[in-house]
Every structure is written in structure tokens, then in C-alpha cells.
Structure 1
């Protein structure tokens, strides 16, 4: 199973990457939105974790791009506190789940597993 992370904060991205790799996923990590869109189209991940605020292409644009693709890819949005209206917009675009930063890596791991299990 492949998981793509779109997160511009290096520490958060690296931390998630290490945790999900330990969980047995193939992880693709991207620091900006345009890189994430290219990687999603090339790699066809099973799950995408995207921050809302990204350079070049926003997390909302990533959700929209993924949900307009042929393949059923699950999307989890990562947002800072106080972005409830943006999270609501993400769900309208087709996001499958969201987590508010800061979050527990254990909870993130459980939610990713739940998304992966919902694919089959």
C-alpha cells in the first residue's frame, strides 16, 4: 500500500514518513502541492495525506484533483486549529477524513489503516 504525504513542514513530514514506513507502507513525501499532484498522477497512491496550506497548489486543490481521478484514492486532510470552514470545504470536495494539528502519531496510524481497509 502506498501513502503520499503532502506537507511543507519538514519536521512533520519526516515524522509522519518514518511512522508510516514503520507501519509497512510505501511512503512518498512531497513538500509542496504541485510536486504532490505530479506524484499522485505518477505513483497512484492508495491514500493521500495533505496539509491544507501548501506552496504552489493548496491542499483543497489536491483533494479536488484526487477525487476527479479514475482511481478511488482515499484522502485525509491535515489542518491547523481554527480552519473548520476550510475542512468543511475539503469534505465537500470529497475528503475522506481529517485531523487537526497537532495530532497523535498513533491516532494518525490508526486512521490511515482504517482508510486503507476501507479500499477493499
Structure 2
């Protein structure tokens, strides 16, 4: 039986070769923990340029932590803003939109892994 000891790893929000860019938009996503690793969750960092907007993710639960900047999240009639150190819970299937009020970096953990 092959037993692998879990290893603690460190990640940061710096972009690297796996960073995904969304056309000419100032939105990037940099994977840190991915489904291919076989775990129950995914983690990534994202950067939004001021004024950029994106639809909320829908097929999985996410928790975002804003590292710097400020986000405005619209979910129906509900509008909230979150700044550095703030947490956002985005439930599976939640409609809405996120907008960067300022240049913003966040870290996200999602379940299940994707």
C-alpha cells in the first residue's frame, strides 16, 4: 500500500505560467490548488482592475478573502462591499455580479474542487 504523507505548501498571489487571462480585460486568475491534485477543494488568487466586472460563479461554493482593494457584489436587490481582510461567501448557484471598486486582489477557496 502506497502511503503519501501530506505536505504543507505555501502559495502567494503572484502571477505565474498557469495564470489565466480573460482577453483584454484586467482580470486574472492564478490556480494554487487544483482538482487534478485529488483533493476536495480548489484555491486560487484573482486580480481585478478597477471597474472590471464579472458574473458570480455558480456551480460550486466559494469563500473569497480580499487581500487589497475593494469589491462590490450585487446579488438581486442585495448590494454589499468588502475591503481588505473581508470575507465573502458565494453560495453554489448564486446569481449576481462582482465589480472591482478599486484594483483588487483576492484569494478564493472553492468546494468541490474544479
- Asked whether the two chains share a fold, i.e. TM above 0.5, the reply is no
Indicate the structure with greater strand content.
2
What is the TM-score when the length of structure 1 is the normalising length? 0.29
Question: Higher Cα Rg: structure 1 or 2?
Answer: 2
Indicate the structure with greater helix content.
1
Specify which structure has the bigger relative contact order, considering alpha-carbon pairs within 8 angstroms and separated by 6 or more residues: 2
What is the TM-score when the length of structure 2 is the normalising length? 0.30
